[in-house]
Structure 1
Amino acid sequence: MIFSRGRGGRHSRDERSGRQSADTQDLAAATEPEGPSHGPYDIHDAPSGVQRLDLGSLHIPAVQDVEVRVQANPDGVIQQVVLVHGESALQLGVFAAPRSDDIWPEWREEIRTSLAADGVTAEEVTGDYGTELRARVRTPDGGLADLRFVGVDGPRWMIQGVFQGRAASDPDAAGPLTECLNGLVVDRGQEAKPVREPLPLRLPREAAAAAPEPDGGEAGTAVNGVVSGQQHPRHAEPRPRRDGS
């Protein structure tokens, strides 16, 4: 699925007049809190006028030459989302989180522990989204693949991104994929969910209607002529906790 971007405080009052002074108005405007400089955004903070692909809990911005690949079951429920640009890819997941606590630090440590159990050493580095993990893992075909894990905590949700290919070893090569990550919008909904449970993702209605019937078992789903059958390195994700969020 290829999408191209279109070119396209407190107020004080004047004691004598009872009206807000011009100086106070200017100060209020200067100190009024601004929205986040970039995303991922909560649905309530997302800037308008941006073309996005609506996958339910995730809305993905259209960025030139970035291909959106999804793996879905016959009911149109998405189980994997991967953005591809050249030799790089970004696998996305969105999960329920508690109201007050960030879960990425604990989640990150559990990924590190899981990788260590497989004999893989993960290195913590500081990146644009805070502390990241970088690791080199063995793929199912016996090769080696670099992975870069990033996490973003939001209001009652968390985004995990796993960069693969060139973008994993060289963040400067991740430009368009980072642009997608910075423009992501999360529609968490109001429903209570267990902490760490994946938030629901679905195919757009028109894409689900166009998807071919699989020949037994799960298959890559065709969306706008692009089939998502590509396998990407997997890792053990932390399991949900059953306390609601």
Structure 2
Amino acid sequence: MFRRRRREQPEQAAADAAAPAEPTRESGPWDSDEPHPDHDRIDLGGLRLPHNPDFDVRLASVGDQHIGVVVIHGDSTLQLQGLAAPKSMGLWDEVKTKITQQVPALEEREGPFGAELRGEVTADGQTRQARYLGIDGPRWFLLAVVHGPAAADESAAEPFLDFLRDVVVVRGTEPMAREEPIVLRRPNEHGAQSDDRPGFNPFRRGPEISEIR
């Protein structure tokens, strides 16, 4: 006996179509085109960062271009830079080799995002702990470098790791050269998207976006 399939109600079908897709992974960094949690983030163009007043966020610039972010929390920092990558392969294995050639003392370990590098680095006559993490995404690569106590102390590193897990990378569709920096912008620059979702309070204190060169 065949039964007629019940027709789906138009209202329910429209609601299902409008509902955002559930993330297929537990955490990021996320690609902007994949389903990811929908909540407050700082829109810097090529990167969208968690909106958290406990972090001081600064843009790093070369000339007139913003190419990276420095996130300060306590006595430690997290540096983020997005680079364009080929469709066919990631960049982290190659970048790891370049870093270890420059700093042979670094050791490779397994971390929450895969292989990473840890150890002491010397710059400007000062030696400090550093931790390098690399994440390969679709046509992009995100390099994260932790300096200070959080580079060696797991409990101090956890706020930075949670921050990194909620970063969204916006690669865009335009052609880019291999390892070309994904350009960022200040939130109030032309083209920045406003966040008018329910519950977002534009007057709530958030990270101050300053600039370093």
Fold shared per TM-score above 0.5: yes
The one-character-per-residue Cα deviations of 1:129-160 (angstroms, maximum 9, x if unpaired) are 101001211121x2211110000011100100
CA distance in 2, matches of 1:189, 1:226: 23
Q: Do the aligned residues in 2 keep the contact of 1:63 with 1:179 (CA within 8 Å)?
A: no
Deviation at 1:34, TM superposition (A): 5.3
Displacement of 1:71: 2.9
Deviation at 1:100, TM superposition (A): 2.5
Partner Cα distance (1:60, 1:225) in 2: 12
Q: Whole-Å Cα distance in 2 between the matches of residues 174 and 78 of structure 1?
A: 25
Q: CA deviation at 1:46?
A: 4.5
Unaligned runs of 5+ in 2: 7-21, 191-206
Is the aligned partner of 1:132 residue 2:130?
A: no
Partner of 2:134: 151
Whether the 8 Å CA contact 2:23–2:36 is kept in 1: the answer is no
* Greater gyration radius: 1
| Contact 1:93–1:161, Cα closer than 8 Å, also in 2 | yes
Matched residues, number = 183
* 1:55, distance to aligned residue in structure 2 (A): 1.0
- TM-score, length-scaled by structure 1: 0.67
Amino acid across the alignment from 1:101:
M
Which residue of the partner structure matches residue 74 of structure 2?
A: 86
Give 1:128's aligned amino acid: P
Aligned partner of 1:59: which letter?
R
Contact 2:132 2:146 in 1 (8 A): yes
Query: 1:1-245 alignment to 2 at 5 Å?
Result: 17=3, 35-72=24-61, 75=64, 77-116=65-104, 121-140=105-124, 142-205=125-188, 227-229=210-212
8 Å Cα contact 2:57-2:210 kept in structure 1: no
Q: Is the Cα–Cα contact under 8 Å of residues 132 and 149 in structure 1 kept in the other structure? A: yes
RMSD: 2.7
Distance 1:191 1:226 in 2: 26
| In structure 2, C-alpha distance between the alignment counterparts of 1:115 and 1:74, rounded to whole Å | 27
By how many angstroms is 1:191 displaced? 1.1
User: Which AA in structure 1 matches 2:116?
Assistant: E
C-alpha separation between the residues in 2 aligned to 1:163 and 1:51? 24
Taking only the aligned residue pairs, the percentage that are identical comes to 36
User: Which residue matches 1:239?
Assistant: none
Question: Any idea what SS the aligned residue of 1:147 has?
Answer: strand
Question: Aligned-pair distance for 1:41?
Answer: 0.3
When normalised by structure 2's length, the TM-score is: 0.76
The CA distance in 1 between the partners of 2:36 and 2:209, in whole Å, is: 28
- 1:104 to partner: Cα distance: 0.6
**Cα deviation code 1:38-89 (max 9, x no counterpart):** 01000012534311111111111113411101233674x3133101110111
Higher strand share: 2
After TM superposition, give the deviation of residue 16 of structure 1 in Å.
5.3
Runs of 4+ in 1 over 6 A off after TM superposition: none
